[in-house]
Amino acid sequence: MSDAKRRRLEVPPAKVLGRDEYLAKLREVLCPMVKPAAMYNSLVGGITTDQELMAIPIHDHALVRGHAIFDTCSIVGGRLYRVDIHLDRHMDSAERARIPLPFGSTVQECKDQMRSIIAQTVVTSGLRDGGVRFYTSVGPGTFNLTPEGCKSAFYVVVLRPEELPVKESDLDGIREVTVDMPLKPPLLASTKTNNYMLNALTSMKARDSGGQFGILLDGDGCIAESSVLCCVFVTEDKRLITPNFDKILAGTTARKVLDLGGRLVAEGKLAAVSQEQIPQAVAKRCVEMLLCGGDSHIIPVTHWDGHPVGSGSVGPITKKLIKLVHEDAKSGDGDHYELCYP
């Protein structure tokens, strides 16, 4: 090699930090950020409330390969709300994603252990209301592509209501826009993984045009989903409709809304409840539109692509559903666990 090609890279001396200095700096930078009230980490088999310890190893495959799944549940009045439906979906996601279970030798044992850990972490947090996010990852071990040599990990964080990604602040209705963004392949779309870059970009693109979460269409021009929420419509003839789950994630809140919609059918307030293919043109003629997710968050959409949905204000069925969902979360129909706080 000629000397001309021997480019030297002159760099300032590296700043190597000792443990205490590193953690102190990290604590400082995390200070203005979200502060989980507690975090469980299966790698250490325990819970921390130190912000600077709430972390995952740099070689955890959740980061290295996006080889992780997550789910959520709610804390309502000192009870865990709908943890089991989320854990069931989590176990399904683990199987599709081929992530070795971090606990037990059966799916049921793993699920029981996860429920218990979630409860312990919530109780440690002291929060009576808020949300839980939990992650199961191929875990740390290597920078390879496959899980061999890694140790599956389970992480749980407990968040205050104001720190949850979907909040209650939009009950007066939001404006939404259709976003041109490709859907994920079905395997990825139907598994609740952390491969959510397209979801994030969908929301960012919606915000560019005055929307918030964005409305996605499938390849046939039918409604798919929003970035992290399901889309539900009320037709002129009083049918409550939402897309099939074949190309999208099986929304737990959408399933609750369908259940509660059934009650409104019984009361004569709705003609029918249906999961079906919804061409965009059909959706655009609907009189009410809502997005739902996060167990109890029903977000009315009053304007879509610059036009009012129905009257342009929150419709009666949407209002009724918000009320029913909140009642369900507060009073419970069995999908609750009382927690024993000290």
Residue pointed to by tokens 């919804």: 278
> Which of 288, 328 has the CB closer to its own copies?
328
> Of residues 102, 130, 147, 300, which one binds its own copies by CB under 8 A?
147
Q: Does 197 engage in binding with its own copies (CB under 8 A)?
A: yes
> Of residues 105, 185, 267, 306, which one binds its own copies by CB under 8 A?
185
**Least Cβ distance, residue 159 to its own copies (angstroms):** 6
Q: Does 159 engage in binding with its own copies (CB under 8 A)?
A: yes
Question: C-alpha 48: how far from its chain's center?
Answer: 23
- What's the residue count for the chain? 342
* Interatomic CA distance for residues 201 and 210, integer angstroms: 14
**Least Cβ distance, residue 306 to its own copies (angstroms):** 21
Question: Which residue in 111, 184, 192, 256 is the catalytic one?
Answer: 192
* Encoded tokens for 203: 């929301």
> Which of 59, 269 has the CB closer to its own copies?
59
> Of residues 61, 90, 111, 256, which one binds its own copies by CB under 8 A?
61
**Least Cβ distance, residue 252 to its own copies (angstroms):** 17
> Closest by alpha carbon to 83, among 47, 46, 132?
132
* Encoded tokens for 40: 């469980």
Residue pointed to by tokens 């021997």: 6
How many Cβ atoms are within 10 Å of 3's Cβ, its own excluded?
5
Torsion angle in degrees (nearest 10) through CA of 162, 168, 169, 171: 180
> Closest by alpha carbon to 175, among 322, 279, 309, 320?
309
* Encoded tokens for 178: 């259709």
* Encoded tokens for 223: 């409604």
Residues near its own copies (CB under 8 A), total = 113
- Would residue 192 show up in a list of annotated catalytic residues for this protein? yes
- Which span (3-11, 241-249, 280-288, 310-318) binds its own copies, by CB under 8 A? 3-11
Q: Does 39 engage in binding with its own copies (CB under 8 A)?
A: yes
Q: Does 219 engage in binding with its own copies (CB under 8 A)?
A: no
- Which span (149-157, 231-239, 296-304, 318-326) binds its own copies, by CB under 8 A? 149-157
* Secondary structure letter of residue 264 according to DSSP: H
Residues 282-341 that bind its own copies (CB under 8 A): 331-334, 336-340
Q: Does 103 engage in binding with its own copies (CB under 8 A)?
A: no
Q: Does 222 engage in binding with its own copies (CB under 8 A)?
A: no
Which residues partner with 193 through β-bridges? 69
